[in-house]
Chains A and B, each alone.
Chain A
Amino acid sequence: MQSFEALISFLFFVFVCSYIIPSFSYDTQANSLYHIQLAEDAWRVLYLRDNFKDFDDPSRPGLEKDLDIIKEQTGLCVFIDGIVFTSCRNSADKVHSKTVSITKTVIYDGQLTTLTLSLQT
């Protein structure tokens, strides 16, 4: 009977260890700053390509095209809230991913407007 108990104890020990010990290992990189930098990059490149020059123009064909290029090159989804723009039109894209957001101010409709650029990694 004691051997049976010893076996059960061992199996319980293995079961508990299998759950607890892997949680002590660090297998994810601390990269939130890098993601914020990427979001700043996306904004900066859109700005350099004059996408916010005529932001009042509702069609903004250049902005949509550039977001597509960023998505194509990096695989990152870029969302601009306020005036909704996204490089991920497929709802299945990046469902379970991390999002970082930065806020920027632009002149829209003659007024200063705060936009949020979000990046899904």
Chain B
Amino acid sequence: MNLSRSNKGIYLLSAFHRFSTLFLSGTVPNNSYAVPAIQVNKKSNKHGFMMFDALVSLLCIVMMAHYTISMVAYTSYSTSGYSHDQQVFNKLVMAADYSVKTGLARKSNGIKYPNWIDENAITETYAESIRRKTALDAIFISLDKPSQDFSVCIYRIVAVGDDRQIARLFVCGG
């Protein structure tokens, strides 16, 4: 079929009308209003619709696959990050509990007082020994908030000094 430029426009308009009517009412309009000179091949038209349907369906399938892969990748990434943070958190909880009850607890007349912290016992050597035991990359133990960022930070409520002031013992690591 050899169509001129103006006839091509009419043909496209006709095809759009047929498509929108089919879409809205589900019936194919007759072609009585169309330019009589144009012979529309019904078989080729049907092939066009099938190709369009196949194209849109394929596009949706590709988008579904992309969406699924992205979501799974994101979930996997966040779960691995969570798993690492949870491991660090568990180790810090263990280290803090040991420090509060034994490692940094005050001793008087051979009796240990859990939660009553001996400030002088908080040293770099003590922190390093805890870091080695817990196999963490870095650890911070102090009565003051850490100045640098750690991936996980916890605290315990303790008493400090002879007058047993309420304070927080920060245990952070990563």
Given A17-B68, A33-B93, A48-B115, residue A24 in contact with residue B75 (CB < 8 A): yes
Distance A69 CA – B115 CA, assembled complex (angstroms): 16
Interface residues of A in 1-40 (CB under 8 A from B): 1-4, 6-7, 9-10, 13-14, 17, 21-22, 24-27, 29-31, 33-34, 37-38
Assess the B166–A73 pair: CB atoms within 8 A: yes
Could you pull out 25 A-B pairs where Cβ atoms are within 8 angstroms?
A1-B23, A1-B53, A3-B56, A3-B57, A6-B56, A6-B60, A7-B60, A13-B67, A17-B68, A21-B72, A21-B75, A24-B79, A25-B78, A26-B79, A29-B82, A29-B89, A34-B89, A41-B157, A44-B114, A45-B166, A48-B115, A70-B157, A70-B166, A73-B166, A74-B157
Chain A contacts with B in 42-73, Cβ cutoff 8 A: 42, 44-45, 48-49, 66, 69-70, 73
Q: Which 3 A-B pairs have the closest CB atoms?
A: A3-B56, A41-B157, A10-B60
Chain A residues at the B interface, C-beta cutoff of 8 Å: 1-4, 6-7, 9-10, 13-14, 17, 21-22, 24-27, 29-31, 33-34, 37-38, 41-42, 44-45, 48-49, 66, 69-70, 73-74
Our count of residue pairs bridging A and B at CB distance below 8 angstroms stands at 95
Chain A: minimal CB distance from B166 (Å): 5
Q: Contacts A21-B75, A27-B82, A29-B89 hold; do A49 and B56 have CB atoms under 8 A apart?
A: no
Residues of A within 8 A of B156 (CB): 37-38, 41
B-side interface size class: 35 or more
> What is the CB-to-nearest-CB distance from A19 to chain B, in angstroms, rounded to a whole number?
11
Where chain A touches its partner, the secondary structure class is helix
B20 lies within 8 A of chain A by Cβ: no
Contact A7 B114, CB 8 Å, known A29-B86, A37-B97, A41-B156: no
The reply to whether A2 and B93 form a contact with Cβ atoms under 8 Å apart is no
The answer to whether B140 has its CB under 8 Å from any CB of chain A is no
Query: A48 with B164: in contact, given A29-B89, A33-B93 (CB under 8 Å)?
Result: yes
Bitwise interface map of B from 149 to 161 toward A, beta carbon under 8 Å scored 1, else 0: 0000011111100
Q: Is the CB of A25 within 8 A of B79?
A: yes
Residues of chain B whose beta carbon lies under 8 Å from any beta carbon of chain A? 22-23, 26, 52-53, 55-57, 60, 63-64, 67-68, 71-72, 75, 78-79, 82-83, 85-86, 89, 93, 96-97, 100, 113-116, 154-159, 164, 166-168
Contact yes or no, A21 B79, CB < 8 A = no
Q: Is B52 a contact of A3 with CB atoms below 8 Å?
A: yes
